[in-house]
Amino acid sequence: MMASLIMSAVGTAIGVAGSIQQSQAQAAQMEYQSEIANRNAKLAEQQASAQRMQGYEAMAAERLKTAKLIGQQRAQAGASGVSLDSGSILDVAEDTAATGEMNAINAFNQGIDSGYNSEIQAWNYESQAAGYDSAAGQARSSGLMSAVGQGIGGIADMGSTWAKFSNPAPTGGGKTQYWDRALNAYVDKPVRH
């Protein structure tokens, strides 16, 4: 009897420890994934800032390029003796300025758009991290519940084993046959008058 109880207790302890260890391993894996997602979110946010800055710098470069081009056009016109403040040279300078400004705005908008896309990616990573954190908590909870269930089941098994050895069933085929024999003994008694 004692060996059976000890084996049941050891089996229960191993099951409880295994459940806890497995849930801790799952939780640790989820926490690791969460940490990676958080790092990726920070990198995406840094990338978004860099892309916006690149857009601003590209806009400034386009404006500088346009100003240089207008300066070259005016220098060529001045060298040929054309009036710089009227006529076709003024139209060319205005067209060049308008085209250059459109190019500058497009470069800036591209940086803003790229930065926004990276920001969305950062938000997605943050959502993944939150999901992994939640999964880690659930793994711990389910592991604890499984361990408690195994512990209660093991205690019930030990109680059942203890009860079996403490109160053995009557001999002769169980309770039904025991009562049948007792009833037959009573019925078979001769009636005295």
Tell me the per-residue pLDDT of 106-131, one tens digit each, with 9 for 90 and over.
Answer: 999 999 999 999 999 999 999 999 99
- Tell whether the torsion through CA atoms of 84, 86, 90 and 92 is positive or negative: negative
The size of the chain, in residues, is 193
> In degrees rounded to 5, what are phi and psi of residue 127?
-65, -40
Give residue 1's pLDDT.
Answer: 60
Residue type, 75: A
Domain spans in the chain, listed from the N-terminal domain onward: 2-167
What CA–CA distance (Å, rounded) separates 131 from 117?
Answer: 21
Q: Categorize the per-residue pLDDT at 21 as very low, low, confident or very high, splitting at 50, 70 and 90.
A: confident
Taking residues 145-159, report their average pLDDT.
76
Of the candidates 31, 37, 49, 36, the one whose C-alpha atom is nearest the C-alpha of residue 125 is 37
Q: What CA dihedral angle connects 25, 28, 34 and 38, to 10 degrees?
A: -150
Residues 6+ apart with CB under 8 A from 73: 89, 92, 93, 96
Instruction: Give the other-Cβ count within 10 Å of 152's Cβ.
Output: 12
Q: Is the pLDDT of residue 103 over 70?
A: yes
Q: What CA dihedral angle connects 107, 111, 114 and 119, to 10 degrees?
A: -160
Q: Is the pLDDT of residue 182 over 90?
A: no
Of the candidates 24, 103, 113, the one whose C-alpha atom is nearest the C-alpha of residue 59 is 103
Contact 129, 32 (CB under 8 A): no
User: pTM score, two decimals?
Assistant: 0.61
